[in-house]
């Protein structure tokens, strides 16, 4: 079903103008549009409207070449499809007479051909590549109101063209939801014995550490700080920001607390409890008689973790300072908790095979995956609107992303051929 935008929003949409861009993609700027119309109300626990989006082939901007314009065009489509807010329609179905329409002064935008194929939005782009430099102009058109919503120009090194696409993706998300997107944000994961990093909106990953025996559970904190554990001949090490922060007994599944301190499961003589690693000796903050591991923290001082105190592993929520917690997961085994950035939801794994979410206070249980391999280790995006997790549904362990309500489940970096597991999404928003 197609959804029309209320006329009230049309009065708020203003066309944007171009400003010269900075020299580097890290500093790319354009004139911000004013009074963006929020047209997609996002309910993370339910459904939201989706809009038909067409992205025709990018056009030449000037006398230079167009580089990998087709690949950049596909990347933009993949990004926006991944959000769950849009349904991509084939632009070749349009009877538009002039592909330059809307991009250049001699060709005003013609909305009629796009309305005829049911497109609610159209994104048009033009590219110029000169040596090692690239310039992209991209515009978002609102077919329902007949207005241009965004116009941006990005200029920078050719190698940063993908970052330009990610920046524009975030602008589009801001225009239609009222909140910026998270494309370009970092995700850490394990590939074999190597700790790898990728970005939302990337096809590649690069190594950041590991390479030894028994590397496990990489995680990201604010400032893209890193932590993971690794086995040694004498026991276990906790590695924080590339340096050994602790060496001794078994340490399991570290996580950054809001103040930047690292907490993790810590094995004692008779039990495993959550401990804080802030000095020579870990400070234990839970005192169960069995196993308590996998802490995750909310910004307001709560901790969710796994405990078997009820007879089977479940998700408990208590104070980040320690003490007892309250079980909030339903009956059956539950592991791998992840707090949402707002602290209102917790994602976790049920029965060691599917991702579910529950309200942080209990209730509102929803299973998000089912019947497709083993789905584990969910982690929320920094805006809470997406979840990354690992899945074997394709025959090997890969990272997948989905909307926080379970929609649009798809591989994160399908071209990366190595194994992919144990993802952790940085809490930092990308540079906008």
Q: Assess whether pLDDT exceeds 60 at residue 32.
A: no
Lowest mean pLDDT among 265-279, 296-310, 344-358: 265-279
Predicted pLDDT of residue 211: 66
Q: List pLDDT tens digits, range 222-255.
A: 999 999 999 988 889 999 999 999 999 999 999 9
**pLDDT number for residue 289:** 85
CA distance 305 to 268: 17
Percent of the chain past pLDDT 70, that is, above it, reads 88
Stated pTM of the model: 0.87
Average confidence (pLDDT) over 132-157:
94
List Cβ neighbours of 393 (8 Å cut-off, separation of 6 or more).
372, 373, 375, 400
Cα–Cα distance, 265 to 421 (Å, whole number)? 19
* Residue 31 scores a pLDDT above 90: no
- DSSP helix/strand/coil, 112: helix
**Rounded average pLDDT over 283-308:** 94
Q: Which of 113, 179, 108, 173 is nearest to 147 (CA)?
A: 108
CA–CA distances in Å: residue 169 to residues 9, 59, 82, 105: 21, 18, 11, 24
Average pLDDT rounded to a whole number, residues 2-16 = 33
| Tens of pLDDT, residues 53-68 | 999 999 999 887 899 9
Average pLDDT over residues 159-167: 95
pLDDT of residue 27: 35
Query: Is 292 a residue whose pLDDT tops 70?
Result: yes
Residue 47 has what pLDDT? 59
Residues in Cβ contact with 259 at an 8 Å cutoff, skipping those fewer than 6 apart: none
Distance, CA of 342 to CA of 18 (rounded, Å): 35
pLDDT in tens, 100-121: 999 998 899 999 999 999 999 9
Q: Where do you find CATH 2.120.10.30 in the chain?
A: 186-425
**Tokens encoding 303:** 């901790």
Tell me which of 3.40.50.300, 3.30.70.2190, 3.40.50.10070, 3.90.1330.10 is the CATH number of domain 7-177: 3.40.50.10070
How large is the average pLDDT for residues 25-40? 40
Spell out a b/e string for 357-382, using b for 16 or more CB atoms within 10 Å of the CB, else e: bbebeeeeebebbeeebebbbbbbbb
Q: How confident is the model at residue 19 (pLDDT cuts 50, 70, 90)?
A: very low
* Contact yes or no for 209/217 (Cβ under 8 A): no
- Using the predicted structure, report yes or no on whether residue 180 has a pLDDT greater than 50: yes
pLDDT exceeds 50 at position 20: no
User: Model confidence over 56-105: pLDDT tens digits?
Assistant: 999 999 887 899 999 999 999 999 999 988 999 999 999 999 999 999 98
Residue 288 has what pLDDT?
Answer: 84
pLDDT digits (tens, 9 = 90+) for 319-335: 999 888 999 999 889 99
Q: Which residues contact 13 (CB under 8 A, 6 or more apart)?
A: 35, 36, 37, 142, 145, 147, 149
Judge: domain 186-425, CATH 3.40.50.1220.
Answer: no
Phi, psi of 20 (to 5 degrees): -60, 140
User: Which residue ranges does the chain devote to CATH 3.40.50.10070?
Assistant: 7-177
Write the pLDDT tens digit of every residue in 373-428: 999 999 999 999 999 999 999 999 999 999 999 999 999 999 999 999 999 999 99
pLDDT interval class at 25 (50, 70, 90): very low
């Amino acid at each position: 079903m197609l959804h029309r935008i209320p006329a009230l929003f049309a009065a708020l949409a203003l066309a944007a103008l171009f400003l010269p861009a900075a020299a580097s993609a890290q500093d790319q700027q354009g004139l911000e549009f004013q009074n963006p119309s929020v047209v997609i109300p996002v309910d993370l626990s339910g459904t939201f409207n989706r809009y038909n989006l067409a992205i025709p082939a990018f056009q030449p901007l000037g006398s230079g070449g167009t580089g990998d314009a087709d690949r950049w065009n596909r990347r933009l489509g993949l990004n926006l499809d991944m959000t769950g807010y849009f349904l991509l329609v084939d632009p070749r179905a349009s009877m538009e007479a002039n592909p330059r329409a809307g991009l250049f002064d001699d060709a005003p935008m013609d909305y009629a051909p796009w309305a005829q194929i049911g497109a609610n939005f159209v994104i048009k782009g033009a590219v110029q590549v000169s040596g090692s430099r690239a310039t992209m102009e991209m515009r978002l058109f609102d077919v329902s109101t007949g207005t241009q919503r965004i116009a941006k120009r990005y200029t920078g090194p050719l190698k940063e063209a993908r970052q330009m696409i990610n920046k524009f993706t975030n602008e589009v998300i801001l225009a239609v939801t009222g909140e910026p997107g998270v494309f370009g944000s970092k995700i850490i994961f394990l590939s074999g014995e190597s700790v790898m990093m990728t970005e939302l909106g990337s096809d590649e990953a690069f190594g950041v550490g590991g390479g030894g025996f028994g590397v496990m559970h990489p995680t990201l904190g604010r400032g893209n700080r890193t932590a993971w554990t690794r086995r040694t001949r004498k026991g276990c090490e906790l590695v924080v920001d590339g340096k050994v922060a602790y060496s001794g007994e078994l340490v399991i599944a570290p996580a950054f607390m809001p103040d930047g301190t690292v907490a993790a499961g810590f094995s004692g003589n008779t039990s495993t409890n959550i401990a804080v690693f802030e000095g020579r000796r870990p400070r234990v903050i839970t005192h169960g008689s069995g196993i308590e591991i996998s802490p995750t923290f909310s910004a307001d001082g709560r901790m969710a973790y796994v405990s078997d105190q009820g007879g089977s592993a479940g998700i408990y929520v208590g104070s980040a300072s320690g003490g007892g917690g309250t079980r909030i997961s339903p009956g059956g085994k539950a592991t791998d908790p992840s707090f949402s950035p707002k602290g209102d939801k917790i994602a976790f794994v049920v029965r060691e095979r599917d991702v579910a979410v529950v309200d942080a206070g209990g209730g509102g249980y929803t299973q998000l995956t089912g019947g497709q391999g083993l789905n584990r280790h969910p982690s929320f995006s920094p805006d809470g609107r997406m979840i990354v997790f690992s899945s074997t549904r394709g025959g090997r362990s890969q990272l997948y992303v989905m909307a926080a309500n379970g929609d649009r489940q798809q591989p994160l970096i399908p071209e990366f051929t190595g194994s992919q597991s144990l993802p952790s999404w940085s809490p930092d928003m990308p540079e906008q």
